[in-house]
Amino acid sequence: MSRLADRYDPARNSFGLIRLLLAVGVLVAHAWPLGYAQPSLGWAASAGQSELGSLSVQGFFVISGFLVTGSALTHSVVRFSWHRALRIFPGLWVCLLVTAFVVAPLVALYENRTLRGFWTHPEGPFAYLTTNWFASMEQYPIAGLLSSTPFGQLMGGPSAFDGSLWSLRYELVCYVLIGILSATAVVRRAPRALLVILLIGYLLIVRDLVTAPGWAVRPVAVGAVGPFPLIGSFSSEWLLYLTFLFVLGAAARRYMHRIPMDGRLAVLAATLLVSSLLMGGFIVVGLPAYAYLLIYLGVALPGWLSRIGRERDYSYGVYIYAFPVQQVLALVGVAEYGMPVYLALSVLGTLLFAVPSWHLVEKPAMRLRGIDSGRMTPAAPMPAAALRS
């Protein structure tokens, strides 16, 4: 039976494709609540345990843990931190600027026929920018707008301009965690600590399921952690589950010489995933199965698929821009023409932002990752597959 180390090629894998599909999955999942004020796809079938959007975000954390740990193993903690900041913040900052100073004013003109009071609103564009600059996402509305959208009516007031950005601060926490483990040489010399963290996290997840009202019921949220300076507050539930999945991906990268990669195990993982979603126990059974399935697909899909996302990684841009695009389309009534039209225009509209985001912001920013502190010379251009690590 082959091992993960035998099948994983950093320059030739399908993780780029999977990341793009997960980003599109978030877009598709949001079409129901944003366009029609309905629960996301899969919510009813899983009895509220999960849905397509949550699954997509969770998949991002598995893959991120796997890829980012590879970077931590090959770079100093300073360079690792610099790489991670370049991957997250330039794209986020431009997205916040575009949302606050391009999209929001147009929405204000559409809703109110004037910009009077827009710039000076207590939750106006300047507050939106300064509050969320470090991915805290403590302010989602801008100037009381979007209350008339389906999602705004569902929420009963001003609506979020970019609700997808909520997960970025969790990603940053995971980067800090793996950075600390790298700085203390745990990742390289004492990788069993990753297994201890996994075990503790898994036991806490089991506790959540045991104390839930039922096997097929989503555990009740137990509160928030924080707020912390700059990055805000965290849901205890999401902090636990997403960190667990990130560390699961990290452990897979560190122990890939021992992890078997077999189609029969992938079929079993898929069966456990679907069964747990339909019958219950998803967080205990389905999450680990889902992680194995994603990593297997990343190294087992046909080689020609590895070209997708190798030179052009639009997944981050799709993820951060889809929500405001879908909100605007819902505002102007596109959803009334049916789900196929709404989804098609959502994808096209999102790509109008995601493609320039990659070529004009993300890729140029990542080229700075090779800057030497003494000479300040940028690294030579490299493929997107390498930029992700």
- pLDDT tens profile 258-317: 999 999 999 999 999 999 999 999 999 999 999 999 999 999 999 898 888 888 999 999
* pLDDT confidence bin for 375, thresholds 50/70/90: very low
Yes or no: say if 54 and 282 are a contact pair by the CB < 8 Å rule.
no
As a whole number of angstroms, the distance between CA 323 and CA 131 comes to 19
The closest of 266, 262, 254, 350 to 20, measured between CA atoms, is 350
30, 322 Cβ separation under 8 angstroms: yes
Q: Report whether pLDDT(46) > 90.
A: yes
pLDDT digits (tens, 9 = 90+) for 349-365: 999 999 999 999 999 99
Evaluate if residue 385 carries a pLDDT over 70: no
Provide the pLDDT for residue 223. 79
Query: Chain-wide mean pLDDT for the chain?
Result: 92
Query: pLDDT tens digit string along 308-324?
Result: 888 899 999 999 999 99
Structural domains in the chain (count): 1
Domain region containing 24: 4-387
Mean pLDDT across the stretch 155-184?
A: 94
Q: Is the pTM of this model over 0.85?
A: yes
Percent of the chain with pLDDT over 70: 95
> 25 burial class (0-12, 13-18, 19+ CB within 10 angstroms)?
buried
pLDDT of residue 127: 97
Contact indicator for 145, 158 with CB cutoff of 8 Å = yes
Outline where DSSP puts E strands in 223-377.
224-228, 232-235
Is the separation of the CB atoms in 319 and 326 below 8 Å? no
